[in-house]
Amino acid sequence: MSQLNAVEMYGTAGRLTSLDLFAGAGGLSEGLREAGFTSLYANEISPRYAQTYAANHPGTHVDSRDIRMVDARKVRALLGLKRGELDLIAGGPPCQGFSINAPKRSTEDTRNHLFREYLRFVTEFNPRAVMIENVPGMVSFEGGATLDAILESLKCLGYDADVRILYAPHYGIPQTRWRTIILGARDGMNPTELFPEPLRQAPVRVNFTSQFAGKTLVNLPRSLELPSHVTVRDAIGDLPVLRNGEMGDVTKPYRHPADNPYQELMRVGSEGVTCHEAARLSKVNLDRMSHIPPGGNWTDIPETLLPRGMRMARRSDHTKRYGRVSPNGLASTILTKCDPHWGAYFHYEQDRAFTVREAARLQSFPDTYVFCGSRVEQYEQVGNAVPPLLGAAVGRTIARVLGERETRVRTAGAA
């Protein structure tokens, strides 16, 4: 990892204001905060997620009501903002209905229309810029009709908008995660300038529709001189060693001093490691794990130990299941549980699954970030989050463009 400090990676602090809708546990807001944005209001319907958000963003008004029941005008009055004063509305309407992995992708799924609630807030606040994030499957959903509707709706509200699919490892996140990002701005700003350029090289495999309106949406590095991706070992190698099922102290000391910039960045302000407890795996999973080398998967397990449903599977299928991550590679996409049947969630050198803190590190949450609720709830919050470093990369670019625009307006006014 190159020698980037927190300011260089995240951007300089400044008084930029934002709203976060469908806010989850606050991963996107965390990244935007480090890019200089102050989140004034967040809406998240899950009380537990809202609790986590509030614990980490104490200055934000956190609202856990159903967004369909929230009067956007009253929220604007509460915040004391005039229309057009807000800098950014960001958020991600629930993505399950759009996902290529959803069992039924249908316009009958009411979750697919919650972006209209987002647009209702845009109409009321008239922010300088807008950001909508979702899964790559949104691009192909209903043949692109939903994406078309979002872009057209933003245009009707005065926003020129564009879309890209960003790869998390290109922005310093050590896992194979893709997100569709829609960015728009008013007053003649070019939306293509709002998207961040990749900061790193990383192995790429595109397994989704990446074409829309005749163009490729995947944002790939332009330069071969960029540093390589952050590895799993870079991300979690300093966290305490645990045995299968080990709990220990609530706050644990680090394994050793930080030995790379990623660890240094994750530790800023931290006095120890929390949410670092090893779930107890069954004996059969421990037996399976004993056969899997770093970088290996279910195909390394003797057939007699495989789950019955996998014994007839082709060896080219399900290549992440029962995987032990490679320390020098990227982690599987962090999902809502680190269940080995779902992906490569076995530690590369310790015979156990990832802890909540390790999952959070692989998502780029700082160690000071606390997660409320049970361990199951904490895994869900981490897995459903936008990686903060990805939010920071996008937020930093938006902040720069808004700042340049403000400078031009002031200069023109002075002339």
Query: Which amino acids are annotated catalytic?
Result: 95
DSSP 284-332: HHHHHHTTPPTT--GGGS-GGGS-GGGTTS-TTSSTTTT-B--TTSPBP
Q: How far apart are CA 256 and CA 15, in angstroms?
A: 36
CB 346 within 8 A of CB 327: no
Element (H, E) at 17: strand 16-21
- Of 286, 252, 269, 257, the closest CA to residue 357 belongs to 252
Q: How many CB atoms lie within 10 A of CB 244?
A: 18
Q: Cβ contacts of residue 300 below 8 Å, gap of 6+? A: 291, 292, 293
Three-class DSSP labels, 38-80: EEEEEECCCHHHHHHHHHHCCCCEEECCCHHHCCHHHHHHHHC
Tallying the residues shown for the chain, one arrives at 415
- Of 405, 409, 384, 404, the closest CA to residue 133 belongs to 384
Q: Report strand pairing: 211-212 vs 16-21.
A: unpaired
Q: How many CB atoms lie within 10 A of CB 376?
A: 12
Q: Cβ contacts of residue 142 below 8 Å, gap of 6+? A: 105, 107
